[in-house]
Structure 1
Amino acid sequence: MESARFILIHTSHAGNVGATARAMKVMGFGDLVLVAPRFADVLCHEEAVAMASGAADILARARVVPTLADALDGVDFACATAMTPRDFGPPTHEPRSLFAELAARESPPRLGLVFGSERYGMSNEDVYRCHAVLSIPTHPDYGSLNLAQAVQLLAYDLRQALGGFTVSARTPDPALADARAVQGLLDHLQTALVDIGYLDPAAPRKLMPRLNQLFNRAALTEEEVHILRGIARQMSKTSAAAGPK
């Protein structure tokens, strides 16, 4: 299933081919096959390359074949995509649950995901060639998806069924200020508060212990301590420049 094949039938818009390549690459898939596209040179079309946005290698490796039978050569389990279930044909599944079931098999199949044309979707004959129909759960009043959007959703669900990718580690948390740095800030801030007349040394009213508790709860970083000390420094400078009151 890691080598799943994405098959586009009779696609007519070069941009959708490029966007499909991009959707595949970000989820780690690379086998793209086009069945009788509207334009024979669609893989090298300027719009396709532009919409691929870094996935031009997928376009370079992609193949164009005349029939769906050719595209399914080597595929063990083919999934058609359709907005609504059919009265006749293979069973319809929600993608995520089917992918999970296939991935859990002792010998997972080589998967083929088949997408119809932008305007007409898949013909009944093409659907009948597949083992299952995938219906993406959408709002019941509006289920129209762009071709590349549908590819992206299925590629994501398939990748998740295969274990997903590890999210890149975020930027490490900044270093927390130690108790000595916080005490230095409190001493500095106390001087500044006296300078501006906010704190009366004769009647402090537990202001500094309360600020100490506030800073402890905030878990100040070293950079934040530097910022607050800079503010305290400027408070004292401004008070001195203003002169005695």
Structure 2
Amino acid sequence: MVQLPDSHSVHAAHSPDAHEPLRGGFTSTRFVLVEPSHPGNVGAAARAIKTMGFSRLVLVAPRVPQVQLDPEAIAMASGADDVLAAVHVVPTLADALAGTQWSLALTARTREYGPPPAAPRHAVQDACRQVAAHGEIALVFGNERTGLSNEDVERCSALAHIPANPAYSSLNLAQAVQVLAYELRMAYLDDSGAGTALPAAGAAGAADAALRGAPGTATPLATSDDIERMYVHLENALIALDFLDPANPKKLMSRLRRLFARSGLEREEVNIVRGIAKHILMLKGSDSGK
């Protein structure tokens, strides 16, 4: 039996400009749930992001077909029906990340490979810089029982871990979404006015701009799908060189993914790597990986 949300729910305090439309990171951030099992958690996640000013919820292969129409999901959404109705359902994480320049994976356990984890408060500062300079980002959450696979983690740009009580660190999926949505909201609003993303300003921003190109400009980051095509091209080139044995690949591509994830690949850099891979394959007589 579905239990309706408590009528005495706590509501966030309203600021004088609470009804102003939110912009910047609030509209260019998507929350991605990978293979969610329970309709109630999907509804609660919709409620969690709406209370923090977000609206874009993406589901990757949910266990319950048309979960956004499930009575439990609707009940737990508790007024976030618009977010739930606008849910975007896709078959793979690659589809969910299509068009994003940066993504943050939330994980509860240590990974041998993948980007090094950061606490949410630190991780969302990177999110702010990415939004200010490049646009679309995604926050990625795993299944309630098993979390994210290593392959899913490696597909993301950065990794976050909520430093919960080690004696009892179990967080409900929607609770984890709420924590990240809150931290991201506070980061977006900090010193920037309602709804705008933090600029990459100050000495750090100027230094970053100087490293990337002309002063005050930012070179576009590669999208998630561009980077994945680069990995395919690079892997084929390494196989052609007999540097990578497809029958015994070990962890070579995982280590390379971690290396590139630390760099924040720009579009031109991805093109350079693909150009190298293309010439290797041409010399070996097999230009594949396009």
Q: 1:54 aligns with which of 79, 88, 111?
A: 79
Distance 1:15 1:146 in 2: 11
Q: Which residue of 2 aligns with 1:127?
A: 153
Q: Which residue of 1 aligns with 2:212?
A: none
Q: TM-score, normalised by structure 2?
A: 0.55
TM superposition shift of 1:108: 5.1
SS in 1 for 2:138: strand
TM-align CA RMSD = 1.6
Deviation readout 1:166-224 (Å, 9 max, x if unpaired): 8xxxxxxxxxxxxxxxxxxxxxxxxxxxxxxxxxxxxxxxxxxxxxxxxxxxxxxxxxx
> Are the aligned partners of 1:102 and 1:108 in contact in 2 as well (CA < 8 Å)?
no
Q: 1:114 aligns with which of 122, 128, 140?
A: 140
1:148 equivalent to 2:157? Answer no
Q: TM-score, normalised by structure 1?
A: 0.65
Q: Which residue of 2 aligns with 1:8?
A: 33
Which AA in structure 2 matches 1:34? Answer: L
Which AA in structure 1 matches 2:95? Answer: D
Distance 1:92 1:62 in 2: 28
Q: Which residue of 1 aligns with 2:66?
A: 41
Distance 2:122 2:113 in 1: 21
Which AA in structure 1 matches 2:83? Answer: I
SS in 2 for 1:162: helix
Which AA in structure 2 matches 1:95? Answer: P
Q: Which residue of 2 aligns with 1:136?
A: 162
TM superposition shift of 1:107: 0.9
TM superposition shift of 1:104: 4.2
Q: Which residue of 1 aligns with 2:250?
A: none
TM superposition shift of 1:54: 0.4
Task: Give the 5 Å matches for 1:77-226.
Answer: 77-104=102-129, 107=133, 109-163=135-189
Which AA in structure 1 matches 2:84? Answer: L
Q: Provide structure 2 residue ranges, at least 5 long, that are not aligned to the other structure.
A: 1-24, 195-290
> Are the aligned partners of 1:14 and 1:48 in contact in 2 as well (CA < 8 Å)?
yes
1:19 equivalent to 2:48? Answer no
Distance 1:100 1:108 in 2: 14
SS in 2 for 1:22: helix
SS in 1 for 2:189: coil
List 4+ stretches of structure 1 deviating above 3 A: none
Q: Provide structure 1 residue ranges, at least 5 long, that are not aligned to the other structure.
A: 167-245
Distance 2:30 2:126 in 1: 18
> Are the aligned partners of 1:85 and 1:133 in contact in 2 as well (CA < 8 Å)?
no
SS in 1 for 2:139: strand
Identity of aligned residues (%): 53
Indicate the structure (1 or 2) with the bigger Cα radius of gyration. 1
Deviation readout 1:117-171 (Å, 9 max, x if unpaired): 11111111111100111101111222110000000000000000001698xxxxx
Distance 2:41 2:124 in 1: 24
> Are the aligned partners of 1:4 and 1:29 in contact in 2 as well (CA < 8 Å)?
yes
How many residues matched? 166
> Are the aligned partners of 1:12 and 1:39 in contact in 2 as well (CA < 8 Å)?
yes
